[in-house]
Homo-oligomer: A and B are copies of this chain.
Amino acid sequence: MDSHAQAFDEIWAVIGDRLSTRQADRDLHGQSETWHRAPPPDAVAWPETTSEVSAILAICNRHRCPVIGWGTGTSLEGHALATQGGLVLDMMRMNRVIEVRPEDRLAVVQPGVTREALNTDLRATGLFFPIDPGANASLGGMAATRASGTMAVRYGTMRDAVLALEVVLADGRVIRTGTRAAKSSAGYDLTALMVGSEGTLGIITELTLRLHGQPEDVAAAVCAFRTLDEAVACVAMTMQIGIPMARIEFLDSLAMRAVNQHAGSDHPEQPHLMVEFNGAPATVRSDAEAFGEIAEECGGQGFRWATSPEDRKRLWEARHASYWATLKLRPGATGVVTDVCVPMSELPAAVAAAARDIAEAGIVGTIVGHVGDGNFHCLLLIDPQDADELARAKAVATEMSRRALRVGGTVSGEHGIGLGKRGLMQEQHGEGWAVMAALKQALDPNGILNPGKLVPDPA
């Protein structure tokens, strides 16, 4: 803390007691959802305007004080841990929906608006925002990690959802990237560069987001399979035939047990697909029929339809809560969570191999996934005191990533790199990782923005 006392004095002059060095505030902003651990930051600031963010960054840049953006604190790879100390910038007071333009299908929001808050705001417009990671995350954080969720198979990820950004750079300069037009060929895609940069290139202070029309009709269902292989084969066939799924989620037997316990449901403890169809009523009907035929062919054992909006809400809330539900299977356990994404043809083998590895490692863990785009997750339950168990879980996660790389996939489909996967960046990107370092150096020469993450350490 002492090392940045001068910076904090200057920041105090800008935002007063919205800067805190109290232990409780620091501890709250030094937590992680998963097994990643680091000492708390030296201080926490709650800016309320872009110009405050700009002033704070200019000060920190002068004093070489690390700055780490913070939203809801729900990232899964330790992205927002202050591993090199410094200041956490809690963006949750910048939580206004600035503008909704239904006629242009876009909304302008501050970074502290959560995805659920935005959708509540949109209810009367006939529009919605489809990106839905498990947590009710902040939209700024979701952009920073290039989040996606259950509907990415239909609507894309934050890469597709973000039209424009306001970003404060390391030296306090404020830039606006992108426009309100649907497309642009006017220079480097700075929006795409910032999305997924995990707070290492700038702090997002405003987002312009693409919205979608609420579908005329929706049908959702769960379908059980005898084996994991059959369920995943059904997904690959469905996507290869081109049925326009709104959602197609895989949950293994253990994840279904967790869901049952959490939601009080009585689904058989077998591998399941949870699916949703959107569109005009005739489309929904024909898509659902086409999927039903494939599912039957793959050994799917009947559907349970969630017909009412309340039933559907319950279904998807159960899916979104599966992370926390699974943690409860082993009280006191911590999660080693990992996600990879592979080409569709490689999905069945990749999921089967992950399941085998978990079993062989003697670890309790679930596999779930947004399998329609080849993305799946493992949640491995470990005793945080048991170093050997942690090592075995990490080995399973690492092998899952390496297998994804061997078949042309990526070490993360949506959780991001943070601390957990930085060791795999060189393997995935080769010389491209050095290019990322050069870009980082160009925009943040003092290395104050979320240091120790995503890019190699400065030479």
Contact = CB atoms under 8 A, between A and B. Distances in A.
Interface of A: 101-106, 145-148, 152, 156-157, 159-160, 169, 173-177, 179-190, 192-193, 195-197, 201, 213, 236, 240, 242, 279-280, 282-283, 286, 341-345, 373-375, 404, 407-417, 421, 424-425, 428-433, 435-436, 438-439, 441-443, 454-455
Contacts of A375: 181-183
B190 A196 contact: no
B286 A186 contact: no
Given A101-B345, A103-B236, A189-B195, 16 more contacts: A103-B345, A106-B343, A146-B184, A179-B408, A179-B428, A181-B410, A182-B373, A182-B375, A186-B412, A186-B424, A187-B417, A187-B432, A189-B196, A190-B436, A280-B283, A438-B443
Nearest to A341: B181
Contact of A344 (B104, B157, B439): B104
Contacts of A407: 180
A173 B430 CA distance: 11
Contacts of A240: 102-103, 105
Contacts of A189: 146, 159, 189, 192-193, 195-196
Given A193-B188, A421-B186, A431-B174, A410 B104 contact: no
A168 to B, nearest CB: 11
B185 A105 contact: no
B183 A414 contact: yes
A62 B448 CA distance: 33
Given A186-B411, A286-B282, A175 B430 contact: yes
Nearest to A440: B188
A255 to B, nearest CB: 21
Contacts of A414: 183, 185
A198 to B, nearest CB: 9
B442 A409 contact: no
A186 B3 CA distance: 32
A443 B441 CA distance: 11
20 contacts: A101-B345, A103-B345, A146-B185, A148-B185, A175-B431, A177-B432, A179-B341, A181-B408, A181-B413, A182-B343, A182-B373, A182-B374, A185-B417, A186-B411, A187-B196, A187-B417, A188-B193, A188-B196, A193-B439, A441-B442
Nearest to A425: B187
A441 B160 CA distance: 28
